[in-house]
Structures are given as structure tokens and as C-alpha cells.
Structure 1
Amino acid sequence: MESINISDVNNTILNLTPTDTELFQVEENGDIINVQLIFDHSTTINEDEKKLSQLLTEFNLNALLPILKDKQITYHSLQYLSKDDIRDAIPNIGLRAEFREKLFFWRKQQYGKDDETISLNTKIENWQQKVDSTKDNSSNARSSKINLRSVLSSSSKGKSLLKTYESKNRLENIDRDGLVQIITEEVMCSDINLKPSDFPLIVDQILSIFPNEEEAKDYYFIPREGKKNPSGRLYSRYANCRSKRVKSSQSSCTTITNETPFVEDEVDMSISEAMKTSLSRDSSDWNLVKEKWKKTFSLRQKELKLMSNDEFFKSWPKFCDARAPELIEIDFDFLYPNKKHLLLSKWENFKKNIKNYYEINIHNESCRKRFSLLKTNSEIGKDSEDFLLTILLNSVIPPVSRFKDKRGSNKRKVTISDAQESFILRLPLITNYKEKIEELVNKYYNIKLTVQPFIIVVGEDDINLNSFFVYLDKTLFKFDSFIEAFDNCFKIFQVLSLSYPLGCQPSWIFIQKYFYNINTPFDIKSPNITALLSFLNSANKQN
């Protein structure tokens, strides 16, 4: 118990704000008086919580604030937390790991406490550099991600604008409007939510790149005066785009049915174009790529009708990425909801039934020899079996077309061998695939036919296969199994609206109808397709 001197106090309780209490003894005129003081720490608590919130914002982990508060972890106590404390406080492993790494690095910077971290130092240092760069801004964390110089340098419109300023040393209104459009598209594409306080920072970046725009800075943004809203071309365009997105999102939510594919956040064409541009240059965050891919589905479908195949692939270079099959899967699911897994779900039953059909209906001698491999090799691998059962479709649904010469006259009839060659190509080694592709290009281009996507299997013979690929526009996609390559090849035809190769067209139409339950007005009619569908459907009913 402490003793203090105080005058004019008579067994008094000084009640400020009920937080902490302290009992004192005071001496007055020789008498000892007990005084209970109740101290107000609310200001200190509020300040501590504010600091904690700001630090979590720098960590980009605002969601942890209520969790830390619930465990009575304060800004002040952060310097004492151990790994065990963090594990007890934060149940989510992902959030816990990220918080621990960033906290330990922060403590090293603040207090010189050298905790062990799991991630590479360079990754944490890169994060800290990003945080430090935002401390000079009064804006929220999202707006600090706008790097105008980088945005301009990575788009054709931006590069053109920089060249215009370099040659003229000034911008006209048409140039300023173009700059406003570029910035707005980038903000909307990246889903950055701007506040009025963010716009002066963007204007500062404009002035640093285009110094002679100082006198025209009000063209972009005019701060709020009194009760008036901010104005300026940049602010107005952003506000309009944000309003359109909200209305469009609300409208789409009321019209979605179980049978309608959902394209997230229908956006106007300018925003879709911005997303498309960002897809051309960014692939570090593949999950973000896939999200943008979903939101640009409608734009791709429109451009498919307006561009040649070569123009389209150049316009959407992600189709050449090794992970492009994931993007194909996304577009196929939009085109045909709930059908992407149908091939795999039907395949095993198909294998059992198709063997009976082949036994009776294969007449071509070379095809019968291939079929006999299935019956005489009891230890044949699954991929080899799947390959043989698939390529033999051409023997029971033979091609009926004829090749045409340059004048359009019908010439040689398409053979089963031609059909198999344009359907699935087997090579002894993948290293010589380019030579074989060149042969096919010369063969088909000479008669004005293009080389469409097709499957490549690698192995010394039909029953010893080890690698599986799909060829598309000079790109090879590798798959773990034959059936995966087969599935993806079919989906490429659908997603890119490509015609089936003339030689194996009947087989692909059968696959489309039987496995994926897709029927179109453009499907050719064939008694061989009808007979096989009837046989399999009847067999399925009996199973």
C-alpha cells in the first residue's frame, strides 16, 4: 500500500471510469485516511487497439483482430508471444503461419528479437519493403498497389501515351481521357476499392510521370468542398464503373438458375478488356489468373466469332501455358454445366460393353489385329487398353468423307488409317514429334485443311505406352494418363469452337453424343453412329 500527501480529502472515492482500482493511505492533519482511486485506462486501451489494428492492416491480416482481442492479446504483448502462444490463439493453420512469420520479422525490426522463421528471408523482406512503401501514404493498403508507371508500361495504350508525352511534352484532353480509362480499368480489374483520400495519391503519380500536368491536375480529381461530393474525370469514371458493377452483380444474382452457368460479376467491356490485358502479362498467382479467366469468358466467346484461330491464340496467350488445361476446363464448364466429369463416370462401363461390339463389327484386317492385342495380352496396362479401345472406334464408325483438291473437287476417299492418324498419333519417342507434325501440316495444308488438336501417345508399340500429350497450336500439353488427354482434347474442340478433323469426324461426334450428352444441329447423321449408340444404350439398361 502506498502513502501520498493530499489535502481536502475525507474518505473520498474519486470515480473516473471503472477500469482499475488502487488503494492509497493519505495523511491529513495527523490522521490516516484510506482513499480508493479508480483509474481510467480506456484511452490507453483504445490507443493499444488502434496500434494493433494498424499493424494487422500492414500484415494484411485484419481478420485476426477479433481473434487476438478475444485471447486478450494486445499490441504491447506482441513482443512477448511465443510460437506456442500463437498456436493456442489462432486455430487456422494458414493464418497462423502467415501471422507468425510476419510478426517475428516485425519484432526483429522493432526490438532486435531474432526469432526463427520458416520462410526464406527474401520473401519476408520483400513483404516488409511493400509495407514500408505504404507507410508514406495515408491511403488504405489496396490503393498502394496501384503502380501507374508499371501499368502504363505494360499496356499498348499506356506505351502510346508515354510516347505522345515524350514527343509533345504535354497531354491533350483526349490523352487525359485515355489515361483516366487506363487507370480505371486497372483499378476495377484488380478489384481495388478506392476512397476519396486515395485519389490525390494517384494524381501525384500522374504528375511524377507527366510533370507538365500540374496545371491540369484538377481535370483528374477535385477534392470535396463542404457537403459537395468530389469531382474530376478520374473520380467520376471510377464512381460510375463501381456503380455499374454493383447493379450488374445484383441483377445477375436474381436471374441465376441451376441450369445456367454463372460468370462471376458481369462487367462492362472495358473492364473485361483490362482483365484480358492483365492476363497477358501476369501468371505469378495462378488462382488469380483463373478468377480473371472466369470473368472474361464472355469476351472470349465474342472474339472467337470475330478472329481467326491464329489471331485468337495471340490475343489469349494463356492457351499456350502449361497449365492451360485448367482454363479449358473452366470454359467447358461454363459452356456445358455439369458435364465435365461425364466421360470418366461412363468410361469403365463403356469398356466392358464396347469389346462385345468390336468382336462382331470390326472387319478391317489391321484393326482386328489391334483388337486381338487386347484379348491375347492379359497384363496389358490400363492406358494401353484405353488407347486401343478408343482408336478402334474408327473401325466401327469408318469415315465416309473424301479429300478435296485445291479446286474443291472430291478426290481420294478418307481411309481408316487417315482417320486414326488425325485422331490419335503414336510415336516411339516424343523427341521427333515436330517432324511428324510437319508431315501432317504439309499433308493437310496442301489440300486446304488445317491440323486440329489431337492426342499423341508415346511408346514402342500399342501395348507399351508411357507418355500422353495433346497437341494444340504448336503447344504440347502433358497428362498423367491417356483418358485425361482424351478428355481434354475433346474439351478443346468445344471451348474453341473448332471443327472435328475430317478423317475422324464420325468418331468425335459419337464421343460427343454418348459420353457428354451434347447434341447440336450441325452433327452429321450416320447409321454407324446410330447403331453403336443403340447397342450401348441397350447394354446399359441390361446392366
Structure 2
Amino acid sequence: MHRVNNVDRIQQTSGKMIPIQPFLYANAREENSSAYLENSCKTEYNETTRQTLSILSNEELLPVRMTEASVYYSAAFRLDESNVCAEALEAILFDSLEGELILAEYQQNNFLCSTTQQKLTDVLLSRSAKSMTVAKHVQNYFVKLTNAIVKLMPNEDPNVYYVPPQSNGNDSKNPKGKLPDKWRNLTYQLRIRGILPRKKLKDKPTSSNDIPKTHTLKDDVDIHLKSLQVLREPLSQVILHWDATFDYRKLIRSTINSLDDVLIEWPILKTDIGPQLIESEFEKLFQYDDDLFGKWISFFNALYEIKKASIRDSIGKEYCNIFESLRNETPEVSSGIQIQLLPYLIPPITKIKTGSGIIVKPTICESSEGFVIYCKTSESIAQKVEFRSDRYKNWNVAVQPCIVLQGPQPHDIKSAYVSLHQQLWELDSPIRALDLAFKLYQVFNLHYPADCEQLWLVVQKIVYNITTPFDKKLTNVTSIANVLNVKLKCKKQRRN
């Protein structure tokens, strides 16, 4: 039986069978057209794999007859670790307009931009078999899927799509890349909708004298979780369900490190009551004396005295001059320029290893935008937030929360927000925006962005006096924190 090894799609029109050249070998087949047509028409078909599709051509829906090798074009076809190959990927991409645009971009540019790489990931995982949600299968599947992508598009960097998990004694790292990130988000959604079972909670050991319970803690958690998926009011009921799932959030706190995961698991945070829920959670997790403005003023003034002489950047010097002119203003007025000045007082030192293996050292400007985005107009906020997200995606790191300040001048801030990607929480002052962004990081144990990691760690240790087992030990952070603590202690003693 003649088998078409490289998936050939055949369009029937005007009584003839016309082959549509596949992407992989579009330039390789130069054989005589009539001979090729004759061979195509002699193809035998297996009854179990014969099927009919429709494709759009000349504004009409025309039937397409599938060869046995063309089973990849079946709408029921699903990728798994046993059948994933470049030909299957090609067929799946040709089967949708989105996929054809992806192929067209690669043919035209010989590479895919970050946004299109994400679209490719979305298309392929949407056609993956449900069996691939099993942990023992999925890592091998990602390896094969990445290899197939590179075979189909040789210029694509495999590390963009998948970096295997690493284990070094007690230090282990989860797999990285667009495939595991998207798959993790997708399985979260499937669990939320009840399509996949939720991860089991570890039950506490019970004694033989305990009375058997038919209604478990997990049952209670599921009830509240489902309520939080749909309930938005009254506020008292939302808070009741939120408080009831506190222990569950503590349990999974170490497994969620990205904002995307948080928003998928807890969509209630996208609403106007999100900030109130974060405040409530933070109060339960940490014993914090809420003298925020007093602590902030002491912290910033001490840091400014220590580090202002080291600023070399022209923007940083300009911000210093603005701050000097606002020294006598209230924190509500001066905190906007103070927050924008922080990345210049604590510049980045961390180097980032991208998915392609390239080492990147963020600039002070990039560090500043990782921490706080300044926009002159409200219309420019979405564009600047997207620009920041694209840079993080190009670095292959998670996009985390940041502060957004809007006003006609850096010192004249009219609106303050916390950015959750496409969602904004509005606060009444810049310092409140910093406060809420910090609390969001702590409540869900989110990783600080690498380009402003040491900045957030200094704020955490000095303003909030919080140390956690998850903190990265950075020599520069320890040094700055020690100097600040000594200076603040001396000032306190002089006041007393």
C-alpha cells in the first residue's frame, strides 16, 4: 500500500486531485506534477482512517479526502508522547487559521517572536491528549514536543519551550519554558472546573480513638473554592469563604511562584475586593505593626543619606533634585518620587540566564521598570505594562506584580496602581500601592523579579522586618540591611 510519509493534503476541485504542498518539504518536491497527481490518485485508503474534512477554498467549503498518513488532520487527533512528531505538529498548525499564521511568520522571518511562540504553545497544548496530565508522562512529552518544534522550525531555540527540572541535593528547580508554564496554568483550570481531580491534601495523622468522619477537610475546602469561583457579593460571604480556605492557601503556598498561577486559582482577586482579601491574608500570616508611613520615612531618609553619593545615572540625579525640593512635603506627596528613586539607590546586581542560555545583566532603567512603571497619561499604561511583560517573556522569567504611577510629572502623581498583567488595582497613594504589591508577593510567596530582587528584599527586611525561609541570600542585601539597621538604631537612640 502506498503511504504518503509527509502528510499530503489533497484538495478536490474541477474533477482533479490537487496536492497542497506541506510546510516541511515545500521546496523539496520538484517532481513532475502529472506523475505526482497520478500517484496521489492511486493511493489506497484504510477504512478505519478514511474521513472527510472541509477546508475553505475559493470561498467555498470543499471536501478533503484523508490518507492513512494524514490521520493527523482528524479533528479527533490528540498529541501524546507516542505520536508526537514534526509532521503531526505541521498538520495541527495547518488545521487552523492561527496555526497557518504561525507557519507563515516563520517562513517569512525564519524565527518566531515571543508572542507567536506563546501562540504556538497554546495551539499545540490545546490538541494534547488528556493522558498527558499524568506527571510521569508529561516531562517526556515536553522533550519530544520540543524536539518536534525544532525539527519543524530549525531556528527555534528549544530552551524557550522546555528546560528540564534540575536537582542538586536539597536544591531542586521546577521545569521552565513556555510548555510547562502553559501546561501548569491549563491543569489548574481543569482542576478548578472539576475536569481533573484536585491535588490531594495531606491529612494529619489520627489516633485510633478518633471518631471516623465522613465529611473531610478537603470536602470543606472544595465547597469554599467553588464558591469563590462564582461568588462576588455580598462581601461578608466572600470574606467568609476566603477565610475558610486560608489553611489550603498556606499548604500550596510553596508550589505557586507566578502571578498567572495565582490569578487562575483565585480569580476573585481580579475584582475590586482583591486588595481587601490580600490585606486580610497578610495580617494573618505576619504580625506587622502598621505604622507604614513612619517606617517608610525613616527607611527612605536613611537609605538616601547612605546611597545618594553613589548615583551616576542622569535620571537618578534628576530624581534626587526633585526629592530635595519635596523634603518638607507629606509622605502622600513625596512617596511617588521616592519610590521611583529606589532603583537608583539600590541598582541591580543580579544576572539573568535566559531560556536560550544567554546571560543578561538588567540595566538600571530595566530594573526601575521592573519595580515601578511611570506613565504620563492613563492611556499609556497598558502599552508600558505590555512592554514590561514582553521583556520578561523574552528573558523567560515569570511576569510578576509591579507598581504603576500615573501623572503629568514624576513628582506630580495623580493615580497609583498595582499591576496584575491586564488587571489594575487602584490605591489612594503611591506608598499604598507599594504596600499592597509587597503584601501580594508575601501572601502567595511569589518570586521577586530578578531585575529588582535585591530592592524588594531590602524593603522586606527593613520596612516590614520580615524574614522567610524562601529569601535568597544576597551579600549586597545583607550589607545594605546591616548599615541601615545601625543607622536607624542610632537615630532612634538620639530621639530617646
By how many angstroms is 1:396 displaced? 2.8
1:469 matched residue in structure 2:
417
Deviates more, 1:324-333 or 1:527-536: 527-536
By how many angstroms is 1:363 displaced? 4.0
Write out aligned runs for 1:80-479 (5 A): 268-306=217-255, 309=258, 310-336=260-286, 338-339=287-288, 341-376=290-325, 382-411=331-360, 413-479=361-427
Q: 1:515 to 1:484 in 2, by over 3 A?
A: same
Deviates more, 1:355-364 or 1:448-457: 355-364
CA deviation vs aligned residue, 1:153-184 (integer Å, no higher than 9, x gap)? xx967x99xxxxxxxxxxxxxxxxxxxxxxxx
Confirm whether residue 531 of structure 1 aligns to residue 483 of structure 2.
Answer: yes
Q: 1:535, 1:485 → 2: CA distance?
A: 26
* Contact 2:316/2:341, CA 8 A, preserved across alignment: yes
1:495 matched residue in structure 2:
443
By how many angstroms is 1:451 displaced? 1.8
CA deviation vs aligned residue, 1:229-273 (integer Å, no higher than 9, x gap)? xxxxxxxxxx9769x8xxxxxxxxxxxxxxxxxxxxxx7121111
SS of the residue corresponding to residue 424 of structure 2 reads strand
Larger Cα-atom Rg: 1
Superposition CA RMSD, Å: 2.9
How many pairs are equivalent?
A: 285
TM-score w.r.t. length of structure 2: 0.52
Structure 2 unaligned segments of length 5 or more: list them.
Answer: 1-191, 197-210
Q: 1:536, 1:360 → 2: CA distance?
A: 19
Relative CO higher for 1 or 2, CA cutoff 8 Å, sep ≥ 6?
Answer: 2
Q: Residue 513 of structure 1 is aligned with which of 461, 467, 474?
A: 461
* Contact 2:405/2:413, CA 8 A, preserved across alignment: yes
SS of the residue corresponding to residue 497 of structure 1 reads coil
Q: 2:297, 2:257 → 1: CA distance?
A: 38
By how many angstroms is 1:367 displaced? 1.1
TM-score w.r.t. length of structure 1: 0.48
* Contact 2:418/2:437, CA 8 A, preserved across alignment: yes
Q: 1:271 to 1:313 in 2, by over 3 A?
A: same
Structure (1/2) with the larger helix percentage: 1
Q: 1:476, 1:374 → 2: CA distance?
A: 27
1:481 matched residue in structure 2:
429
* Contact 2:348/2:367, CA 8 A, preserved across alignment: yes
SS of the residue corresponding to residue 468 of structure 1 reads strand
Q: 1:312, 1:462 → 2: CA distance?
A: 31
Write out aligned runs for 1:34-73 (5 A): none
* Contact 1:397/1:529, CA 8 A, preserved across alignment: no
* Contact 1:304/1:312, CA 8 A, preserved across alignment: no
Opposite residue 508 of structure 1, the aligned amino acid is: W
Q: 1:358, 1:289 → 2: CA distance?
A: 45
By how many angstroms is 1:482 displaced? 1.1
Q: 1:301, 1:317 → 2: CA distance?
A: 17
Q: 2:379, 2:284 → 1: CA distance?
A: 36
SS of the residue corresponding to residue 465 of structure 1 reads coil
Q: 1:323 to 1:282 in 2, by over 3 A?
A: same
By how many angstroms is 1:400 displaced? 0.8
Write out aligned runs for 1:7-46 (5 A): none
SS of the residue corresponding to residue 414 of structure 2 reads strand
Structure 1 unaligned segments of length 5 or more: list them.
Answer: 1-154, 161-238, 245-266
2:52 matched residue in structure 1:
none
SS of the residue corresponding to residue 446 of structure 1 reads helix
Q: 1:503, 1:470 → 2: CA distance?
A: 18
By how many angstroms is 1:340 displaced? 5.9
Q: 1:377 to 1:519 in 2, by over 3 A?
A: closer
CA deviation vs aligned residue, 1:118-143 (integer Å, no higher than 9, x gap)? xxxxxxxxxxxxxxxxxxxxxxxxxx
Deviates more, 1:485-494 or 1:439-448: 439-448
By how many angstroms is 1:354 displaced? 4.1
Q: 1:519 to 1:365 in 2, by over 3 A?
A: same
By how many angstroms is 1:472 displaced? 1.3
2:199 matched residue in structure 1:
none
* Contact 1:362/1:395, CA 8 A, preserved across alignment: yes
By how many angstroms is 1:479 displaced? 0.5
CA deviation vs aligned residue, 1:60-103 (integer Å, no higher than 9, x gap)? xxxxxxxxxxxxxxxxxxxxxxxxxxxxxxxxxxxxxxxxxxxx
Q: 1:476, 1:491 → 2: CA distance?
A: 15
CA deviation vs aligned residue, 1:206-227 (integer Å, no higher than 9, x gap)? xxxxxxxxxxxxxxxxxxxxxx
